[in-house]
């Protein structure tokens, strides 16, 4: 315990899924944490549960001013920023390339890539005068392989990996480390939300997704938010003080043997949604 004692972090997308897992673990390990999210009710409830070591900030990462304000809130409240975790994301636009909706493309990239750029920008603004810090961003195995996500999502995540490398070089002289985490199949509400379900309905799909994802990689269980949170914790802590510019894959081995995931990617988006809906329905009947 206490691996982040005395440190201050901002976690975007911190009200649910991987972000919530990171907030809980960071707080348990001694950090003060700003929960930055668009889900006001969930974020405020989480902050109330965890107590005075956390605070909520409404933050749409596609809006630079929101990100700047969340970081400034951390500095105003606790006097510093030690870790910026750019985690917020969603599945975004999908479908065949020749049918790509460019307005939806712009909206997807605004969250998945522009939001990361803004998070890095404003974290650097605060960390440089202090002479150090750790910036972590959630990328994806979709950024390192060709079959793990839609085109736009995959391109954005590949860009997150590369900008983590280029900025790591720039900020190294200021003792600011910049790294990315590439999750594999993690059981979170993102899958349900991608099917158009409400936040509450999407929460109910998590247990189903554990079963669906368990056969997708050599380690026969679904990834959990805690798995990614542990990687983020290590990168945020002094234990990784000589690590920068890296894309750390946390995927149960799926990038080594992606057959199960490939099977799940077969067919049109409508066919994949139908398979997922059937899985949800079957689990609901069993439950």
Active centre residues (catalytic): 153
**Dihedral of the alpha carbons of 152, 225, 122, 89, in degrees to the nearest 10:** 30
**How many alpha carbons lie under 13 Å from residue 96 in its C-beta half-sphere?**
5
Element (H, E) at 10: strand 8-12
Give the closest residue to 144 by CA, choosing from 113, 90, 181, 118: 181
- Within 10 A of 46 (CB to CB), how many other CB atoms are there? 23
- The span from the CA of 60 to the CA of 45, in Å, is 18
User: What SS3 state is found at 113?
Assistant: helix
Tokens representing residue 21 in the block: 């897992």
């Amino acid at each position: 315990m206490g691996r982040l004692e005395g440190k201050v972090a901002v976690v975007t997308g911190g009200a649910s899924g991987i972000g919530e897992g990171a907030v809980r673990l960071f707080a348990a390990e001694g950090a003060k944490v700003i929960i930055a999210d668009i889900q006001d009710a969930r974020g405020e409830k989480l902050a109330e549960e965890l107590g005075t070591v956390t605070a909520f900030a409404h933050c749409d990462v596609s809006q630079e001013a929101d990100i700047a304000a969340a970081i400034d809130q951390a500095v105003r409240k606790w006097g510093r920023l030690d870790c910026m975790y750019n985690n917020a994301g969603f599945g975004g636009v999908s479908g065949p390339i020749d049918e790509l909706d460019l307005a939806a493309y712009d909206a997807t990239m605004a969250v998945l890539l522009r939001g990361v750029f803004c998070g890095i920008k404003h974290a650097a603004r605060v960390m440089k005068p202090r002479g150090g810090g750790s910036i972590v961003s959630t990328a994806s195995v979709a950024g390192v392989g060709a079959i793990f996500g839609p085109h736009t999502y995959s391109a954005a995540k590949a860009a997150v990996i590369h900008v983590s490398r280029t900025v790591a070089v720039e900020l190294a002289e200021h003792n600011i480390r910049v790294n990315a985490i590439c999750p594999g199949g993690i059981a979170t509400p993102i899958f349900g939300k991608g099917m158009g379900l409400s936040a509450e309905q999407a929460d109910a799909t998590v247990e189903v997704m554990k079963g669906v994802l368990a056969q997708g990689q050599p380690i026969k269980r679904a990834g959990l938010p805690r798995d990614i949170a542990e990687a983020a914790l290590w990168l945020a802590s002094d234990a990784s003080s000589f690590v920068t510019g890296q894309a750390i894959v946390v995927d149960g081995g799926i990038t080594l043997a992606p057959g199960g995931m490939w099977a799940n990617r077969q067919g049109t988006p409508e066919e994949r949604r139908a398979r997922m809906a059937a899985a949800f329905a079957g689990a609901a009947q069993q439950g």
